[in-house]
Amino acid sequence: MADTMLYESQGHTLDLSKITRLYPAAIVEGGGAEAQVSLEWAELKKEEVRIAEFVLVFDFDPPGEVPENRKILHYPTKDELIAAMHEVAVYFQK
């Protein structure tokens, strides 16, 4: 039963039973800089910034601590990110 929360993707094996925070984001470029922003913000500002990629962020450190054990999965399109989110959601429906 212990391995039922292991999610494998992009060369990573992630133990979903140990995540403390999980969220999607967009990496945007604008004004010569790159930043990680919410999907909602990226959508609102899509005329002003370029979306470089989409990411799914897995934090394994306690809330409030510097995320030293963060894993980030990268996706070229929002549709691929959403599909990955659905794959991860299945683990929490068991």
CB 54 within 8 A of CB 24: yes
Length of the chain (residues) = 94
* Mean pLDDT, residues 77-90 taken together: 96
pLDDT grade for 87, boundaries at 50, 70 and 90? very high
> How does DSSP classify residue 62?
P
CB 42 within 8 A of CB 58: no
pLDDT grade for 94, boundaries at 50, 70 and 90? low
Reported pTM? 0.86
Count CB-CB contacts under 10 A for residue 73.
20
Q: Is the dihedral of CA 80, 86, 9, 70 positive or negative?
A: positive
Residue type, 53: E
**pLDDT, tens digit, 9 for 90 and up, residues 5-52:** 999 999 999 999 999 999 999 999 877 889 999 999 999 988 888 999
